[in-house]
Structure 1
Amino acid sequence: MLTSQRKALIARRLTRDGEIVAKTLAAELELSEDTIRRDLREMAAEGLLKRVHGGALPLSPPLPDFAARQSVATDEKAALGARAAAMVEPGQVIFLDGGTTTAALARALPRDIAFTVVTHSPTIACELERHPTAEIVLIGGRLYRHSMVTTGAAALDAIRGMRADLYFMGVTAAHPTQGLTTGDMEEAAIKRAIAENAAATHVLLTREKIGSASPWKIMPLAAATGLIVPGGMEPEVLAPYRELGVEIAEA
């Protein structure tokens, strides 16, 4: 098999399966594992996939800046936000992550019950400025402008001193084997700390984030309580996530 044919096969398998395991593919094609690894390295250098230990994953889509993301997939984000907001019960303490999808959730929060919202995102706090029944707690720290959230030691100390009933997490990618990931090391650490201090963690996922991976791991997929995904997803796309025992709510 020619190099170009192998690479075309790898691209098709990556689209179909969401991952490439070098050892498995080498055995199937009766080639050396080094040959497959070389193909994967070259494809990664060409920007066609993401190399990981033992194989490869699809590239997570590059994220535009925060302002630009506000106009992307607005209907999908509104549906996800409404589905998440319906989970909130009177008297709960909920933690809202930063991001444009959780901003849609903030706008959908019930206005006839009392609860507390903790967030490390000034933009989320501003979304709730006129909410009639929500108590707002804003966590400070160093501002990570790309996601408009605070990070660093001050933020971590404050997060470890609280306990949330629900954490609505935003990520840049979710993959059955690579887990929940994001593009910044410190942001990943903050998200992990919030999840560790929450009774339940639900992850809001727009369609393009499912099946991809970003550089920094937050936690394994199975560590989340549930995923909130767009309605009408193909069953075969969601099957690997269901097999991990994670609840899936469709918006």
Structure 2
Amino acid sequence: MTDMRPPTGPTPAQLPSDSRHARQIARRQLITEAVMAEGSMRIEDLTDRFGISLMTAHRDLDELVARGLLRKARGIVSAAPTSLIEASDLYRFSRQSTEKKAIAAAAMQFVEPGQAIFFDDSTTVLQMAPHLPAKVPLTAITNSLILMNELNGIRDLTLLGLGGQFHNWCNAFMGRMTTSEIKRLRADTLFLSMSAITDDIVFHQSPDMVETKRAMFDSASKRILLADHTKFERRALHAFADLTEFDVVIVDQATNPAHITRMRAKGINVIIATEAVSRVADVAEVE
């Protein structure tokens, strides 16, 4: 039988960190990846693999279960179905990190000083945060608590946090109160990402998320979709928008060329992230 376990690698205690909380986050990420790689595991096996007590294992798993990422029953922990249940921010942040950074860097060519911009709660959009200080003054509008914390304190950046009902699994605000606030605003640009792209239609598992992001979509002059190649391999339940409704779709270099050819044939403005980053770098070098 093929061993589906990820490489052993360092234990969380061996990972560089600045605090106990950082080690805890790193350990929970490793636990998540281990369980998702195998589908299910005995909790006792997790204690052996990660060198933690049974009590610590249950504490970590309870948090991951609360985030909707794992399930726990009778000494067994298993991965929650992700086809119709959105993975938590903890897991989403760890997936396709390199591709997301490239896409975020490419997206920055559409950010100009003085703009008011909607940023959704996606982990791909979150990767734009380190680039924003170079583009101030800006007004950033977001429902993401993580992004609010990242942007807080940036000089010459006006941060508008959208309130409403807080959802722990995505660390974001959604619902009627959130959409009501969004509808009172008008922004130059929206940057967002979604869970799945099927038949050139964008989908998401959460109807509340669709409603919140659609309100941003309708209140922005330009709409830019950030989509790594895995989005084309997934399915989700609730339709959001056709790709032709976006002004720009930014993908990574690993995206199937057939998808890119098809989208461009429909008149969709598709940008491949690494190409865009190279062009920006070339311009900067000339200047």
Alignment TM-score, normalising by the size of structure 2 = 0.63
Q: Hey, what's the Cα distance between the residues in 1 that align with 2:141 and 2:242?
A: 24
Shift of 1:63: 4.8
Aligned to 2:205: 183
Unaligned 5+ segments in structure 2 are 1-81, 274-287
Counterpart amino acid of residue 80 in structure 1:
I
Choose which of 124, 127, 131 in structure 2 pairs with 1:108: 131
Aligned to 1:217: 239
Counterpart amino acid of residue 228 in structure 1:
I
Residue by residue over 1:25-49, the C-alpha shift from the partner in whole angstroms, topping out at 9 and shown as x without a partner, is xxxxxxxxxxxxxxxxxxxxxxxxx
SS at match of 1:117: strand
Q: Is it true that 1:117 corresponds to 2:140 in the alignment?
A: yes
SS at match of 1:140: coil
Aligned to 2:105: 82
Aligned to 2:258: 236
Choose which of 123, 147, 155 in structure 1 pairs with 2:178: 155
1 or 2 for the larger relative contact order (CA 8 Å, sep ≥6)? Answer: 1
Whether the 8 Å CA contact 2:229–2:256 is kept in 1: the answer is: no
Q: Give identity over the alignment, percent.
A: 25
Aligned to 1:42: none
Q: Hey, what's the Cα distance between the residues in 2 that align with 1:139 and 1:237?
A: 34
Q: Hey, what's the Cα distance between the residues in 2 that align with 1:98 and 1:201?
A: 15
SS at match of 1:86: helix
Distance change in 2, residues 1:205/1:61 (3 Å): farther
Alignment TM-score, normalising by the size of structure 1 = 0.71
Whether the 8 Å CA contact 1:60–1:209 is kept in 2: the answer is: no
Shift of 1:226: 1.3
Whether the 8 Å CA contact 1:168–1:202 is kept in 2: the answer is: yes
Whether the 8 Å CA contact 1:91–1:115 is kept in 2: the answer is: yes
Counterpart amino acid of residue 227 in structure 1:
V
Q: Is it true that 1:133 corresponds to 2:156 in the alignment?
A: yes
Whether the 8 Å CA contact 2:229–2:254 is kept in 1: the answer is: no
How many residue pairs get aligned? The number is 192
Q: Hey, what's the Cα distance between the residues in 1 that align with 2:129 and 2:204?
A: 21
Q: Hey, what's the Cα distance between the residues in 1 that align with 2:107 and 2:248?
A: 11
